[in-house]
Amino acid sequence: MHDEFDDSCCVEIEQALLGAEVEDFQMKVYDPREGFFGEVTMEGLIEAGKWTVLFFYPADFTFVCPTELADLAEKHAELESLGCEVISVSTDTEYAHLAWRQSEKLLSGVNFKMAADPTGVVSRYFGVYDPDTGLALRGTFLINPEGVLVASEINYYNVGRNADELLRKIKANVYLREHPEQACPAKWEPGKKTLTPSEALVGKVAESLE
């Protein structure tokens, strides 16, 4: 036995941070719309000027996961109209994605790219990788067209997400990109009042929303 502690294996893992640029990544994908395998990179998404939704989930052929992807699929067309590229991600392979998409009826409407992260590299970077299972937790990440992470949500295995709230947050972020001097209050929807932070607003938020 060695008396001294050997920290050579304790390497700090860089993670994505809110408000910071996302590092480039690369993943194989199954594209249900085109019916073939492909690849996605952060660099390519930025070059395309897209908002990006990364939708991590634990595994193909499980139980809550197909309900989440089906819910997201119902909002896919509207998300695309806002300039969003939707990409689901798990630690399965792109081949498993294809088989699951073809066999699970709940996924019949899924047309967004299904990315494969079998080594867990991208899942680790976004802080959703569970080393005890080798799976990804339910993480949703919104990246703006400049490649900056602007929103994140992580749920445990047994709680499914709501695509309505994701859509609402994306609408708010799209609006704020055009109006950076403003802020969106709780439950904001397009057409409702926003807030313009200033000295005059301090202690007077209620009045400004009337």
* Nearest of 20, 81, 21, 26 to residue 50 by alpha carbon: 81
> What is the total count of domains within the chain?
1
Candidates 10, 65, 84, 184; catalytic one:
65
CATH number of 72's domain: 3.40.30.10
Domain range holding 70? 26-161
Angle, vertex CA 192, rays to CA 181 and CA 175, nearest 5 = 40
Residue 13 has a pLDDT of 53
* pTM of structure: 0.92
65 is catalytic: yes
> Residue 176: inside a domain, yes or no?
no
Helix (H) or strand (E) holding 100, with range, is helix 94-103
Q: Which residue has the higher pLDDT, 65 or 8?
A: 65
> Residue 37: inside a domain, yes or no?
yes
Residue 23 has a pLDDT of 97
Q: Which DSSP string do the residues of 189-200 spell out, in sequence order? A: -TTS--B--SGG
Residue 18 has pLDDT above 60, yes or no: yes
Residue 112 has pLDDT above 60, yes or no: yes
